[in-house]
Amino acid sequence: MSDDVLLHEIFFDVQRGLPRQGPGSDASTRKTLTLCRGLPARPAILDIGCGPGMQTVALASATGGTITAVDTSREYLDELKARADAADVASRIAIVAADMNRLPFAPESFDLIWSEGAAYIMGFDNALAAWRRFLRPGGFLAVSELVWLVPDPPAEAAAFFAEGYPAMTGTAAVLARLYASGYTPVGHFTLPDRDWWESYYTPMQAKLPALFARYRGNDAALDVVRMAEREIDIRRRFADAYGYVFFVGRKSDADVRGTRANQA
């Protein structure tokens, strides 16, 4: 097993069993849906990078629509299946093991594309461009992205994310990128701080002592665990400086968008 594969496995071990794989909540999922005004009564939704699927189940419960949930991890997809069965929505959730870079769907198949904290995996701009073709005319994209909330972030936080997510920008820049990629922004909001803790950092922090014990003597593995501990500490001390913002855009008419761009 290569070092990269091993470190990926350690990272997955840190994440294993958490209710969510990033900040979020059912309340924020429902709030985001209210920004998608004009969805069909029973929309076709594509949830990209669904993880263990808390938001997938919330989408199915809130909309009455059909959800196609995509992830590369069979373990996460199995967790989603168990959640969907428990919530009695499994009949409306299609579970697909696939890479978000190579989605096996026909163009214009969905009314809403949803992705919580996962677009960065293929590059945020790449995701915006690649996923647009799967939306029906006037369809919605709802995507959360990590952004700076202040113009001059604290040096320690800036250094941490310069290593972890150097592409991180501010809200205004993300809105501009949405428009440039063929979406009309229709609303956005910052996830509340509790969305970071209740289903993500608090259960992750509870796992750390056991992980430190499990990997005692393995410096490379311990570095991954220490990074998780450091990430939690940065959030605790600098929560006002950065956050996840949920953005909703509506698929624009390409010709109209191009005309406006030429006039700008």
Residue with the bigger pLDDT between 199 and 253: it is 199
Average pLDDT over residues 194-219: 96
Q: How many residues does the chain have?
A: 264
Asked whether residue 20 is assigned to any structural domain, the reply reads: yes
Asked whether residue 168 is assigned to any structural domain, the reply reads: yes
At 81, give phi and psi (nearest 5°): -60, -45
What's the pLDDT score for residue 76? 96
Percentage of the chain modeled with pLDDT above 70: 94
Asked whether residue 257 is assigned to any structural domain, the reply reads: no
Asked whether residue 199 is assigned to any structural domain, the reply reads: yes
Asked whether residue 262 is assigned to any structural domain, the reply reads: no
Between CA 208 and CA 214 the distance in angstroms is: 10
Sign for the pseudo-dihedral over CA of 83, 18, 153, 193: positive
Residues 143-199: tens digit of each pLDDT: 999 999 999 999 999 999 999 999 999 999 999 999 999 999 999 999 999 999 999
Domain count, the chain: 1
pLDDT band, very low/low/confident/very high, at 240 (cuts 50, 70, 90): very high
Cross-strand bridge partners of residue 66 = 44
Between CA 73 and CA 45 the distance in angstroms is: 20
* DSSP, res 105: -
Would the pLDDT of 27 be above 70?
yes
Asked whether residue 263 is assigned to any structural domain, the reply reads: no
**What is the residue type of 126?**
N
* Coil, strand or helix at 68: strand
Q: Do 245 and 189 contact (CB within 8 A), yes or no?
A: yes
- Among residues 142, 143, 243, 257, the alpha carbon closest in space to that of 193 is found at 243
What's the pLDDT score for residue 2? 52
pLDDT band, very low/low/confident/very high, at 4 (cuts 50, 70, 90): low
Sign for the pseudo-dihedral over CA of 182, 183, 189, 192: negative
Asked whether residue 260 is assigned to any structural domain, the reply reads: no
Average pLDDT over residues 93-98: 98
Residue 247 CB-half CA count within 13 A: 28
* Residue numbers of the domain that contains 78: 3-251
* Coil, strand or helix at 186: strand
At 193, give phi and psi (nearest 5°): -60, -35
Asked whether residue 145 is assigned to any structural domain, the reply reads: yes
Q: Check which CATH number belongs to the domain holding 48 and give it.
A: 3.40.50.150
Contacts by 125-130 with C-beta closer than 8 Å and gap 24+? 125/177, 125/181, 127/48, 127/100, 128/177, 128/178, 128/181, 128/182, 128/183, 129/181, 129/182, 130/101, 130/103
pLDDT band, very low/low/confident/very high, at 9 (cuts 50, 70, 90): confident
What's the pLDDT score for residue 260? 39
Residues 37-92: tens digit of each pLDDT: 999 999 999 999 999 999 999 999 999 999 999 999 999 999 999 999 999 999 99
What's the pLDDT score for residue 8? 78
What is the overall mean pLDDT for the chain? Answer: 93
